[in-house]
Chain A
Amino acid sequence: MINKKLILFFAFIIILILLPFVISGYWLRVLTQTFLFGAIATGSNIIIGFTGYPAFGNIAFFGVGAYVTGVLTTKYNMPFFATLPFCALSGIIISSLLGIPILRLKGHYFAIATVGVMETIKELVDNMTELTGGGLGLTLPIMHGEPEYIYKFFYFVMLGVMLFSLLILFIVSKIKQGYALRAIRVDEDAASVMGINTPLYKTFAWAVSAALVGITGGVYAYWLSYIDPHTVFGGTYPVKMFAMILLGGGTTVIGPMLGAFILELISEIVWSKFIAIHGMVLGLLIIFIILFLPKGIFETFKGGFSFKKLFSNLRENRL
């Protein structure tokens, strides 16, 4: 059973690696965007799905990563790949410092505090005009080469980032520390009684997650070559990320990535056909996921697809 899944997974990866030689232009961009969301959802899942802390504002680290790459490439003429470790580092530093006070909060309060952090960092970036360009945004140096080559370059870099995040998530799910995180999710007090240093493990989970999301932000900045505070901090990113994790199932390793593929590809198809009502459809889709698939698509349809399961999900959480 496990082997079958593994074979399917590697077949999927090989198809993704071979695809750029068949498709081009538009679909390369769409898939790169999908990998971006896959990386964000996978990275954030360490704190959200595994540890059970709804870090709604985790996109803050995406923005920080984007600006670290942006500032380092424009102001200090650093090569792109050299900036990525700094993206990860900035995420780790910020999340560790903030983690000490904020991770004491639970549930709603934690979710809100992370939103507060996100908005505060956004305002700060917006106001540091000399370094970040403020509300005008920051234009990064454009990569040299043929457009087709650049498309392929970012396709593979983003795929690499997503697979790297997936690998880290897989490792975390297997090591002892990963089990500690799950113990915290199920019952934090019990975990603490068992001798798990919960503040340390929670901070560790958040730092790893922040580093991965930060790297994704760095690649995003270089890919689009233009960033401004209002797009990289917030927008619809947090809710899309959450919907992807929920759709795929937050307790699984591969779920968030598959959730990203489903949601982003649906969204792309809707976007290209009905541009005016795209936002409304996205809203309805999220409401639908929460109502009918709160445990994720794979957990719900483990033994095959049926409409009955959708409605039993609906009945389960009713007041």
Chain B
Amino acid sequence: MILQILVNGILLGGFYALIGVGFSLVWGVTNIINLAHGAIALLGSYITYYMFQNLHIDPFITLPVSFIVLYIFGYLVQRYLMNMVVKAQIFMLLILTFGMEIFLVNFMTTFFSADFRSVTPDYAGKSIEIAGVVVPYIRLAVFAICMIVTAIMGFFLEKTWTGKAIRATSLDLEAAMMTGISPRKIYSITFALGSALAGLSGSLLSLTQAFSPNIAGGLTLRAFIVAILGGLGRVEGAFLGGLLLGVIETVSSFYIGESYKNAIAFGLMVFMLIVKPSGLLGRKYYAEVKH
């Protein structure tokens, strides 16, 4: 039994890792807490849902579509909206993204309705049993995709020129500008990547559970906790934080009660903020508190 719970927690954690990576990247690099992250993820869910429902396209094939659409969306939002206020006091940006969240959630409620939707392809119910532990195929696939994308993201940040520029910007904005990096462009690319990863995780979410515009806040808060637990702007951090949150949430909702799940997750986050605000893998210079 305990093994099954742990496996469920890890599978859930893979999803949390993916939704946390984009959030943590944006926060670490641009110092923006994107409260619209969950709402953007849901845009991805609706892309998958409508393509599956109306065009009968396999949900896994819709993943690149939602990635690209939300990449463009994120790029435009950062380039023409967020960059305008990036130098203002920090809570201006917080409110701005909250304004975006309210707008997007209401937009989705108005045009896509507040009903709970889910994507159920033919193979939805199939599962595999290993040593008494039941693992649904879809969850396994979602977990694998989350891991692969997170790994690619880490590789991208470490090895490519753009990735290095993003990391340089997050470490020291002035120094990065002196070496010829355009922060305007890097911020836009970072936010675009964050949105694209959110959209991807939203598309995967639609496969594993029912969704409605109202769960946007919950998703954002999960991404949040993952980012805090692991340390900002670091892919490994989000990976570890996601798995940790997944396991803790599953275990605590089994032993203490489903209804205390959120309180425990938040308690954990506040505790982490007090004890080690830089997160488990937070290092010096990585997303220190900026004003």
- The docked-state distance in angstroms from the alpha carbon of A105 to that of B87 is 21
Q: Which A residues are within 8 Å of any B CB, using their own CB?
A: 48, 54, 56, 101-102, 104-109, 111-113, 115-117, 119-120, 123-124, 126-127, 236, 238-239, 242-243, 246, 276-280, 282-287, 290-291, 294, 314, 316-319
Q: When A108-B289, A276-B110, A287-B103 are in contact, do A127 and B270 touch as well, CB less than 8 Å?
A: no
- Chain A residues within 8 Å of B27, by CB: 108
- Looking at the complex, which one of A106, A124, A238, A290 makes contact with B92 (CB distance below 8 Å)? A290
User: Which A residue's beta carbon lies closest to that of B105?
Assistant: A279
**CB atoms of A279 and B270 under 8 A apart:** no
Taking the nearest CB of chain B, how far is it from the CB of A289, in angstroms? Answer: 8
Q: Which B residues are within 8 Å of any A CB, using their own CB?
A: 27, 31, 33, 81, 83-92, 94-96, 98-107, 109-110, 183-184, 187, 221, 224, 228, 257, 259-260, 262-263, 266-267, 269-270, 273-274, 277, 289-291
**CB atoms of A283 and B86 under 8 A apart:** no
Taking the nearest CB of chain B, how far is it from the CB of A189, in angstroms? Answer: 11
- Chain B residues within 8 Å of A276, by CB: 110
**CB atoms of B91 and A279 under 8 A apart:** no
- Looking at the complex, which one of A48, A109, A123 makes contact with B259 (CB distance below 8 Å)? A123
Taking the nearest CB of chain B, how far is it from the CB of A123, in angstroms? Answer: 4
- Chain B residues within 8 Å of A291, by CB: 81, 84-85, 96
For chain A, what secondary structure do more than half of its interface residues adopt (helix, strand, loop), or is it mixed?
Answer: helix
- The docked-state distance in angstroms from the alpha carbon of A119 to that of B31 is 23
Please name 30 pairs of A and B residues whose Cβ atoms are closer than 8 Å in the assembled complex, sorted by A.
Answer: A54-B94, A56-B91, A101-B274, A105-B277, A106-B289, A107-B91, A107-B291, A108-B31, A111-B33, A116-B273, A117-B266, A120-B270, A123-B263, A127-B263, A239-B102, A243-B95, A278-B106, A279-B103, A280-B103, A283-B103, A284-B103, A286-B96, A286-B99, A286-B102, A287-B103, A291-B84, A291-B96, A317-B84, A317-B88, A318-B84
Taking the nearest CB of chain A, how far is it from the CB of B81, in angstroms? Answer: 7
Taking the nearest CB of chain B, how far is it from the CB of A312, in angstroms? Answer: 13
- Chain B residues within 8 Å of A120, by CB: 262-263, 266-267, 270
